[in-house]
Amino acid sequence: MVKRFREPIYVTRPVLPDIDSVNDAIGKVWVSKWLTNGGLQHKELEKQLQNYLNVDHISLFNNGTLALVLGIKALELTGEVITTPFTFPATVQALDWNHLNPVFCDINPKTLNIDADKIEALITDKTSAILGVHVFGNPCEVGKIQQIADKYNLKVIYDGAHAFGTKIKGKPIGSFGDMTMFSFHATKLFNTVEGGALTFHDEEIGEKLALLKNFGLVSSESVVLSGLNAKMNEVQAAIGLEVLKLVDQERVRRDKVRETYEKNLADIPGIRIITGLKNKSSSYQYFVIEIDASKYGRTRDWIHKELEKYNVYTRRYFYPLCSDFHWYKHLDSAQPENLPQAQKSVQQVLSLPYYGDLELESVEGICRILREMHTSAPFLIPIKD
Ligand code: T4K
């Protein structure tokens, strides 16, 4: 019999530097009396992240969503953008804010990313870009996507909110496509409390982004375009510099958590691990499984609810599908028969608790619960010796 955990176990916890180091970092900001609008902390974080992510250019923002909204604006897209329905609402909301129409493409059953083989059939004369998401840190098929984009002269943007530090065959994830967005929200591997960034190749885009995130001001009395306020402030940047010191160590700790889950879940029928990448190929952002109810004996939703009785709070990222939002439901590409894999995966996917501080004993406990739920499933006949 597995016991209920005394303290709640959440899907994730933020990476937190020691409070004294945070106080010292914020102290420097206070002494400078420079709190925002591109101060020293901002400059330093930008430099260190450009180096860490190994990218040509980077621009920091106050969150990932506004980074994506303004990145899309900077690329001057029009008409339709082909994207995935299996993502966080922010991905498609960034299109909405740019008055662009999403065209939903079904997903790959293994990676749960946009299915590169289904993109071409969705291209029309209104298509201006492909917006892929590296879901749970698993990379999209960047080669195939770029080939399609080159053939039809489309831009490629990646939502890499989950992909901090991932590499594809040694190449940094932020170097693919025209632009990649990263989220530095509290729940991300690297956080600045709230925050985000865009990485890109074109220096001119960098100049445009600098204007877009600062009201379009080219000088104190000259406004050249319609922008927003989307700047990262000095306190966020100062905290980010402290968190960045901990990221490599956090990756090692999360690798142990991943290993423990994998060892303990390996032989439970009906469970497939989606986020099994290791080392530099992994962002160590989430640990996600897929439940095949016909083999496991229980549905994903049943497990999700039942685990709460044990004080374990999993998440059904990304439920519901974006294509089911009431303002998209009428679109042709949003019809369930056009998205069979996404419709299936959205019923099966579950994010398990995952963070460096999670004790390995707790991971073993969660796996024991998952095993017991399977063995006690109603339709299963106990195997006799
Ligand atoms: N694109 C994609 C693919 C994304 O996943 C996201 C964000 C974005 C774009 C947009 O990026 P940002 O604009 O957010 O930078 C969370 C995050 O708020 C969101 O950033 C993230 N994706 C999404 C997948 O997850 P919720 O609604 O699940 O967060 P919440 O508050 O329920 O937190 C989850 C758990 O984390 C809590 O149960 C406990 C723990 N937690 C949370 C916070 C905020 C803490 O322990 N401490 C905390 O401070 O959205």
Residue after which a domain boundary falls, among 216, 244, 272 = 244
Three-state secondary structure string covering 254-320: HHHHHHHHHHHHCCCCCEEECCCCCHHHCCCCCEEEEECHHHHCCCHHHHHHHHHCCCECCECCCCC
User: Looking at the DSSP assignment, which residues form a beta bridge with residue 127?
Assistant: 80
Q: Measuring from atom 9 of ligand 1, which residue has the nearest CA?
A: 90
What was the pLDDT predicted at 150?
Answer: 98
88 is a domain residue = yes
| Residue 26 near ligand 1, beta carbon < 6 Å | no
* Dist. CA 223 → ligand 1 center (Å): 34
The list of the chain residues with pLDDT below 50 reads 383-385
Residues 206 and 61 in one domain: yes
Residue owning the nearest CA to atom 48 of ligand 1: 186
Tell whether 369 and 298 lie within a shared domain: yes
Asked if residue 320 and residue 224 are part of one domain, the reply reads no
Same domain, 237 and 211: yes
Residue nearest to atom 23 of ligand 1 (CA): 88
d(CA 276, CA 272): 10
Which of 158, 185, 198, 288 to mutate to test ligand 1, by most ligand atoms within 8 A of the CB atom?
185
* Ligand 1 centroid – CA 234 distance (Å): 22
Say yes or no: CB of residue 65 within 6 Å of ligand 1: yes
Q: CB-based contacts of 56: which residues, under 8 Å, 6+ apart?
A: 175, 199, 200, 201
336 and 371 fall within a common domain: yes
Q: Do 264 and 194 belong to one domain?
A: no
CA–CA distances in Å: residue 114 to residues 110, 133, 145, 339: 11, 7, 10, 11
pLDDT at 175 (0 to 100): 97
CB of 16 closer than 6 A to ligand 1? no
Closest listed residue to residue 88, CA positions, set 159, 158, 142, 157: 159
Q: Is the CB of 183 under 6 A from ligand 1?
A: yes
Other residues' Cβ atoms within 10 Å of the Cβ of residue 359: 11
Instruction: Summarize pLDDT for 78-116 with one digit per residue, the tens.
Output: 999 999 999 999 999 999 999 999 999 999 999 999 999
Report which secondary-structure segment, H or E, holds 361: helix 360-375
Say if ligand 1 is within 6 A of residue 161 CB.
Answer: yes
The pLDDT value recorded for residue 1 is 67
Ligand 1 close to Cβ of residue 132 (< 6 A): no
**Do the Cβ atoms of 323 and 342 come closer than 8 Å?**
yes
What's the gap in Å between 186 CA and the centre of ligand 1? 7
Same domain? For 320 and 195 the reply is no
Ligand 1 atom showing the smallest separation from residue 183 Cα? 15
The residue nearest atom 50 of ligand 1, judged by CA position, is 187
Nearest CA to ligand 1 atom 37: 10
**Could you tell me the CATH number of the domain that includes residue 89?**
3.40.640.10
Could you tell me if residue 14 is inside a domain? no
The answer to whether the beta carbons of residues 251 and 274 sit under 8 Å apart is no
Atom of ligand 1 nearest to the CA of 135: 3
Same domain, 174 and 268: no
Domain that holds residue 211: 19-244
Q: Cis before residue 320, ω within 30 degrees of 0?
A: yes
With a 6 Å cutoff on the Cβ, whether 351 touches ligand 1 is no
CA angle 43/197/17 to nearest 5° reads 70
Q: Are residues 238 and 311 in the same domain?
A: no
The CATH code of the domain that includes 283 is 3.90.1150.10
Shared domain for 169 and 285, answered yes or no, is no
- Residue 74 sits in the same domain as residue 202: yes
Q: Whose CA is nearest to atom 12 of ligand 1?
A: 64
Structure confidence at residue 377 (pLDDT): 87
* Tokens 């306190």 -> residue: 235
If asked whether residues 326 and 207 sit together in one domain, one would say no
* DSSP H or E run through 367: helix 360-375
Task: Report the number of distinct structural domains present in the chain.
Answer: 2
Is residue 13 in contact with ligand 1, taking CB distance under 6 Å? yes
**Most ligand 1 atoms within 8 A of CB, residue of 65, 70, 88 to mutate:** 88
Indicate the residue among 244, 261, 279 that finishes a domain. Answer: 244
Q: Pick from 192, 219, 244: which residue ends a domain?
A: 244
Tell me if 87 CB under 6 Å of ligand 1: yes
* Cα dist from 275 to 86, 97, 121, 165, 284, whole Å: 15, 31, 28, 15, 8
